[in-house]
């Protein structure tokens, strides 16, 4: 679009297009029908001239007495005779019966027609001189025993035919623009009616702001493209509403998570400052403050990790060998398990390569392993496994711990969701571990899920890297 020139609306462009096309079609039809009519009219004229000339030739009219000849002609030609002219000429082109009324004297005999008549050929020609009536003339030689004995000339005014054609042409000149004009008007009205729902949707969509995402565009109820457009817009608005609500909740939750350790910090410091204390007392307060500060740092780091892993596209796409990655995590898990009195084992491990960021993937699996150890009472078991199925690598972390209620299977992957708050707080969980794992896995084109039963089994599915 060139700057400065406002774009035409679809409505106007549609109307202009079909008006233009209609105009072309009507002009083509008009021109064709006009030339067809013209040909037909001329053909009819020629056919009737030929019929008259042949009738005169075959009747032997020229040899009959004058009165009889006149009667015969009236019979032959009918009332249209008044429009026609005829003449009998001798083979040299001289009027044959000088005694007869000079009927048809107006008919000229062109040199070409005379030459052709001498050869026994008939001629059809249109003659029009300045001021003279335009005529269609047939010159037909009568041949007997191989000799031209007489020439019959029949003419007919083409004025009526021409005026009929003129009238038809004028009708076309008036009717075509009128028809196109009316069609353009009707088309503009139809286009306007068809686009009204779009205008309404645009108006509604304009009124919807980030603060008011509960609004929906009105569905026209027509079941057509407009209805689908409205549904699509409403679907998008619903998703936006959910996303905005999630962002708000996340901000509120994050603020809440920050406030708790900060309030504990402040409380401890205030109490310590209220009176002079023994050095051990200060040391105790400082130690517990340090704990809270460490908690805050962990939370900040987790939040940073979550926002980074949600950013998806920044992820590197290098091949990641999952087998050594899992064996490495197993080492960490074994140490964690030992501390918690949980036995950690490794199940099947298949060679598998995914694409992505090894550090991020390690973080995701480690979060599952840390949870498994954390939520399994001492004496329990944690098992790691890596298999492949249908072009995906499946990393499984199962435990014999407290398990996840079926109703919470989806919810636990949301940020700040902790099912067992007291215990999670105890163990320093921020409620972000699973959210981070999920966003990393999703950024890698995979999926994460939990199955519940005796304990829980978390599985991460990642698309396998295509073989190099
Ligand atoms: P947290 O920091 O609290 O561990 P997560 O996002 O890692 O946060 O986990 C969210 C919640 O999911 C936990 O608070 C816990 O209730 C539940 N959960 C996670 N893993 C397990 C598991 N292996 N067994 C039982 N519950 C689990």
Q: How far apart are CA 337 and CA 382, in angstroms?
A: 8
The pTM score is 0.61
Average pLDDT estimate for 149-170: 88
Split at pLDDT 50, 70, 90, the class of 146 is confident
Query: What is the per-residue DSSP string for 118-180?
Result: HTT--EEEEE--TTSPPEEEEEEEEEETTEEEEEEEEEEE-HHHHHHHHHHHHHHHHHHHHHH
> Which atom of ligand 1 approaches the CA of 372 most closely?
23
The pLDDT, as a whole number, for residue 76 is 65
CA 254 – ligand 1 centroid, Å: 17
**Residue 461: is its pLDDT beyond 90?**
yes
How many whole angstroms separate alpha carbon 148 and alpha carbon 9? 76
Q: Which of 364, 371, 453 to mutate to test the pocket of ligand 1 (most atoms within 8 A of CB)?
A: 371
Q: How many CB atoms lie within 10 A of CB 148?
A: 16
Q: How far is the CA of 374 from the centre of ligand 1 (A)?
A: 8
Residue 435 · residue 379 · CB < 8 Å = no
385-416 burial by CB neighbour count: b if 16+ within 10 A, else e?
bbeeeeebbbbbbbbbbbbbeeeeeeebbbbb
The CA 445 to ligand 1 mean position distance, Å, reads 23
Is the pLDDT at 434 greater than 50? The verdict is yes
Q: Residue 24 pLDDT more than 90?
A: yes
Tens-place pLDDT, residues 54-94: 887 777 655 666 566 666 666 666 655 545 577 778 888 77
Distance (Å) from CA 417 to ligand 1 centroid: 8
Burial of 91 (0-12, 13-18, 19+ CB in 10 A): middle
Stretch 101-118: mean pLDDT: 71
In angstroms, what CA-CA distances link 140 with 69, 98, 136, 149, 384? 19, 20, 13, 11, 113
Ligand 1 pocket, mutate which of 418, 437, 457 (most atoms under 8 A from CB)? 418
Query: Which protein residues are within 6 Å of ligand 1, measured from CB?
Result: 367, 371-372, 375, 399, 401-404, 412, 417-420, 424, 429-435, 456
Q: Residue 203 is inside which H or E element, if any?
A: helix 159-207
Dist CA 43 CA 268 (whole Å) = 117
Neighbours of 313 (CB within 10 A): 5
Atom of ligand 1 nearest to the CA of 429: 2
Chain Cα centroid distance, residue 401: 53
pLDDT for 81: 52
DSSP symbols for 61-130: GGGS-HHHHHHHHHHHHGGGGGGEEEEEE-TTSSBS-TTS--TTTT----HHHHHHHHTT--EEEEE--T
The preferred substitution site among 253, 372, 434 for testing ligand 1, maximizing ligand atoms within 8 Å of CB, is 434
Average pLDDT, rounded, for the chain: 86
In the reported structure, the alpha carbon of residue 391 is separated from the centroid of ligand 1 by a whole-number distance in angstroms of 29
CA of 258 to the centre of ligand 1 (A): 19
Instruction: Give residue 312's pLDDT band: very low, low, confident or very high (50, 70, 90).
Output: low
DSSP assignment, residue 8? P
Dist. CA 296–CA 294, nearest whole Å: 5
**Residue 399 near residue 382, CB atoms below 8 Å:** yes
């Amino acid at each position: 679009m060139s700057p400065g020139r406002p774009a035409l609306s679809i409505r106007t462009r549609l109307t202009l297009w079909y008006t233009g096309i209609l105009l072309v079609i009507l002009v083509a039809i008009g021109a064709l029908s006009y030339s067809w009519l013209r040909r037909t009219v001329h053909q009819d004229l020629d056919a009737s001239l030929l019929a008259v000339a042949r009738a005169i030739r075959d009747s032997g009219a020229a040899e009959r007495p004058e009165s009889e000849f006149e009667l015969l002609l009236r019979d032959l030609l009918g009332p249209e005779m008044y429009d026609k002219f005829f003449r009998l000429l001798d083979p040299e082109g001289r009027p044959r019966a000088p005694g007869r009324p000079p009927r048809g004297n107006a008919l000229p005999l062109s040199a070409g027609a005379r030459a052709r008549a001498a050869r026994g050929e008939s001629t059809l020609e249109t003659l029009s001189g300045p001021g003279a009536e335009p005529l269609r003339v047939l010159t037909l030689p009568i041949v007997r025993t191989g000799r031209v004995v007489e020439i019959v000339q029949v003419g007919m005014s083409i004025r009526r035919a021409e005026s009929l054609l003129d009238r038809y042409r004028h009708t076309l000149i008036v009717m075509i623009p009128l028809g196109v004009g009316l069609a353009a008007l009707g088309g503009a009205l139809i286009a306007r009616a068809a686009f009204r729902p779009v205008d309404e949707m645009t108006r509604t969509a304009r009124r919807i702001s980030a603060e008011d995402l509960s609004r929906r565009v009105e569905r026209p109820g027509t079941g057509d493209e407009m209805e689908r457009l409205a549904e699509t817009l409403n679907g998008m608005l619903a998703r936006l509403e959910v996303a905005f609500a999630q962002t708000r909740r996340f901000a509120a939750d994050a603020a809440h998570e920050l406030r708790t350790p900060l309030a504990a910090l402040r409380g401890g410091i205030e109490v310590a400052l209220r009176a002079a204390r023994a050095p051990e007392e200060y040391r105790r307060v400082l130690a517990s403050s340090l704990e809270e500060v460490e908690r805050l740092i962990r939370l900040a780091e987790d939040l940073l990790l979550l926002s980074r892993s949600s950013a998806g596209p920044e992820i590197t796409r290098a091949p990641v060998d999952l087998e050594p990655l899992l064996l490495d995590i197993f080492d960490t898990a074994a140490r964690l398990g030992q501390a918690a009195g949980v036995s950690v084992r490794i199940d099947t491990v298949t060679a598998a390569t995914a694409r992505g960021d090894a550090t991020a993937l390690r973080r995701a699996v480690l979060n599952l392993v840390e949870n498994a150890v954390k939520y399994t009472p001492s004496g329990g078991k944690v098992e790691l496994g890596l298999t492949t199925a249908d072009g995906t690598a499946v990393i499984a972390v199962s435990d014999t711990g407290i398990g996840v209620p079926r109703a919470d299977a989806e919810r636990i992957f949301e940020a700040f969701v902790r099912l067992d708050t007291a215990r999670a707080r105890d163990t320093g969980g921020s409620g972000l571990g699973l959210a981070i794992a999920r966003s990393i896995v999703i950024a890698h084109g995979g999926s994460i899920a939990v199955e519940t039963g005796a304990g829980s089994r978390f599985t991460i599915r990642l698309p396998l890297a295509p073989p190099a």
